[in-house]
Amino acid sequence: MNLASRITLALHLFVLLAAQGNAQAITTLQGKVVGIADGDTITIFDMANKQQSIRLQGIDSPEMRQDFGEQAKQNLANLIYGRQVTIEYSKRDNYGHILGKVLLLDGLDVNLEQIKDGMAWHYKQYEDEQLKADRKTYARAEREAREARRGLWADTLPMPPWAWRRTERKSDRQPTVAFGNIIGNSRTKIYHRPDCPNYNKVSPENKVEFQTIEEAEKAGYRPAKNCP
C-alpha cells in the first residue's frame, strides 16, 4: 500500500471513529409530556413510565415572576403538553435535569419554536454544548424574533433571565433568605426555608443548598408541607 492509500485509509478511519463517538455521545429518550414548569422546563413519563425532568437545551425563557414568564410557559404547553416527544441529549445539569433538544414526532424542534415565538433567548453562554448547525439556527431565530418584535421582544429592553436571576440573588426582597439559604433534600425533592421545622434535619448526603426559593423551584423542588 503506497503512502497516498495509507493516508486515505487513515482519514476514512478518523471520520468513522468521529461519527461513532458523536453517536455514542447523543442519547435519545421518548415519552409523554405531563408537566410544564416554565418556558424551558418540562416533565415527561418515559417509555418505562419513569418521570424525567427535562431542561430545554440552548434556550433560556423568562422566569415565572418575570414579564412574559407565564406567556412563555403557556406557549410551551400549547406546543407539547400531553404529546409524545423525543429528547436528544448528552448531559444533565447540576440539578439532575436532562439537558436536551425536544422534538415532536414530526421532527419539529420545540426549543427552536420557543425562540421563534419570542418566548426565549438563545442561551449563548452555553452554545458550545450545541451542534454547530443548531447554534446558527437558534441565533438566527432570535434575531428574526427580535426584529419582528414577537413575544418578549415587544419590550424595548427585556431583561434576560440570567441577569434577572443574578439580581434576585442579591435582593433582600425575600426575608426568609436573609437568615440562611434554602435547604433541599435531593432524595425527596423537598426544600425547607430557614423557618421550617426540619430545616436543620436534612442529612448531609442529601443536602442541597439554594440561594432563593425561585432557584429551588426551578430545580424541581417543592416546599415542605410543615413550613409555616
Asked if the model's pLDDT at residue 127 lies above 50, the reply is yes
Taking residues 15-27, report their average pLDDT.
Answer: 53
Question: What would the pLDDT profile of 146-172 be if each residue is shown by its tens digit?
Answer: 999 999 999 989 999 999 998 887 764
Question: What would the pLDDT profile of 168-217 be if each residue is shown by its tens digit?
Answer: 877 644 444 434 689 999 999 999 888 888 888 888 888 999 888 888 89
- What are 111's three cell numbers? 426549543
Same domain, 148 and 195: no
- Structural domain includes residue 18: no
- Structural domain includes residue 143: yes
Same domain, 46 and 142: yes
Residue located via cell numbers 405531563: 34
- Structural domain includes residue 165: no
**89 close to 99: Cβ distance less than 8 angstroms:** yes
The predicted structure's pLDDT at residue 171? 61
The predicted structure's pLDDT at residue 167? 83
Asked if the model's pLDDT at residue 220 lies above 70, the reply is yes
Element (H, E) at 55: strand 51-56
**46 close to 63: Cβ distance less than 8 angstroms:** no
- What are 41's three cell numbers? 422546563
From 122, 154, 186, give the residue that closes a domain: 154
Same domain, 69 and 128: yes
User: Which segments within 65-216 are labelled E, that is strand?
Assistant: 84-92, 98-104, 121-122, 182-185, 190-192, 207-210
- Structural domain includes residue 3: no
- Structural domain includes residue 4: no
Asked if the model's pLDDT at residue 2 lies above 80, the reply is no
- Structural domain includes residue 6: no
| Percent of the chain residues topping a pLDDT of 70 | 85
Taking residues 29-33, report their average pLDDT.
Answer: 97
Asked if the model's pLDDT at residue 77 lies above 50, the reply is yes
The confidence band for 228, taking pLDDT boundaries of 50, 70 and 90, is confident
Reduced to 3 states (helix: H, G, I; strand: E, B; else coil), residue 196 is coil
Same domain, 58 and 131: yes
Q: What angle do CA 219, 220, 224 make, to 5 degrees?
A: 115
Same domain, 42 and 150: yes
The predicted structure's pLDDT at residue 180? 60
**155 close to 69: Cβ distance less than 8 angstroms:** no
In order, the DSSP letters of 27-53 are: EEEEEEEEEEEETTEEEEEETTS-EEE
Same domain, 113 and 186: no
pTM over 0.85: no
State how far the Cα of 172 lies from the Cα of 146, in Å rounded to an integer: 32
User: For 78, how many CA atoms within 13 A lie in the half-sphere containing its CB?
Assistant: 10
The predicted structure's pLDDT at residue 109? 98
State how far the Cα of 15 lies from the Cα of 33, in Å rounded to an integer: 36
Same domain, 99 and 186: no
For the domain that residue 81 is a member of, what is the CATH number?
A: 2.40.50.90
Residues 6 or more apart whose Cβ sits within 8 Å of residue 114? 39, 40, 56, 59, 61, 72, 75, 76, 79, 120
Same domain, 48 and 141: yes
The predicted structure's pLDDT at residue 3? 55
Q: What one-letter code names the amino acid at 205?
A: E
Same domain, 92 and 184: no
The predicted structure's pLDDT at residue 168? 81
The predicted structure's pLDDT at residue 179? 42
The predicted structure's pLDDT at residue 225? 85
Asked if the model's pLDDT at residue 19 lies above 70, the reply is no
- Structural domain includes residue 94: yes
Q: What is the mean pLDDT of the chain?
A: 86
What residue numbers bound the domain in which 195 lies? 173-223
Count of domains for the chain: 2
Same domain, 219 and 110: no
- Structural domain includes residue 159: no
